[in-house]
Amino acid sequence: MNKLNDKVALVTGAASGLGKAIATLYAANGARVVAVDRQLDALKAVEQEIADGGGTVHSLQADMAVPADVEAMVRAALTRFGTLDILVNNAGIMDDFSPVDQVSDAAWRRVMAVNLDGPMQAMRAALQVMLPKKSGVIINIASVGGLYGARAGAAYTTSKHALIGLTKNTGYLHAQQGIRCVAIAPGAMNTAIGKDIDFAHLPAAELFNTRIAPGMALNPRTSEPMEVARLALFLASEDASFVNATTVVADGGWTAY
């Protein structure tokens, strides 16, 4: 049985990696999907893949760092499908592992704009739809970097800690209004989020090599996006009706050490 029949889901960062896996899996389980990403060509390919599989999808180019784009994607869900039941804030960017004494203002603002400000604005817009009907699920893709201090630099670590706090606050305050808000904290995953990082020439190479890299070596393995997407499917469905205002870790046991 399809778990998301007749639901409308908006998935950001849907052109590749985890976002693509979530969008395709949701569509395969009966959801009508609004797939959002900055990369239009890759997004159109995902739209075609979902359509070829018999799913219902509408793609939209948007940048999570642009408030007008964030508002437009929620409007697109309403215009195209008449409502919004599930919001997945998946789009995110990595930093360059700079500690707080070395991070630039520009890098800090960019990471916060995409990883925190955009999701907050998307949640605010989505709740205008969800609260009147007393029903809705928000899933924020955080990271084990939002629970621990040595998986990234100051900017990314802070953004994901803050996203988890926002998740808890939203889920708790609106629990009696039919809203669930949950975060997923993946460990290492086979995606392109770090493709532009030159690990041989990091700004804080010595700190990375002595303080961060040793912990990276303890990671049992890297996950495939679909492994985490299946968790996102569960959390969006009625199977997870009592899971709210919390963070579910999917890291293969990395943080157990």
The reply to whether 26 belongs to the active site is: no
The burial of 183, by beta-carbon neighbours within 10 Å (0-12 exposed, 13-18 middle, 19 or more buried), is given as: buried
Instruction: Point out which residues pair with 61 in neighbouring strands.
Output: 37
Which of 31-64 are b and which e, b meaning 16 or more Cβ less than 10 Å from the residue's Cβ?
A: bbbbbbbbeeeebeebbeebeeeebebbbbbbbb
Q: How would you list the strands of the sheet with 32-37, edge to edge?
A: 56-61, 32-37, 8-12, 86-89, 136-141, 179-186, 247-250
Active-site annotation holder among 148, 156, 172, 257: 156
The separation between CA 104 and the C-alpha centre of its own chain, rounded to angstroms, equals: 24
Three-state DSSP class for residue 250: strand
What amino acid is encoded at 7 in this protein?
Answer: K
Burial zone of 1 (CB within 10 Å; 0-12 exposed, 13-18 middle, 19+ buried): exposed
Count the Cβ atoms, other than its own, within 10 Å of residue 234.
Answer: 15
Q: How, if at all, do strands 86-89 and 179-186 pair?
A: unpaired
Compute the distance between CA of residue 13 and CA of residue 65 in angstroms, rounded to an integer: 12
Residues serving a catalytic function are 156
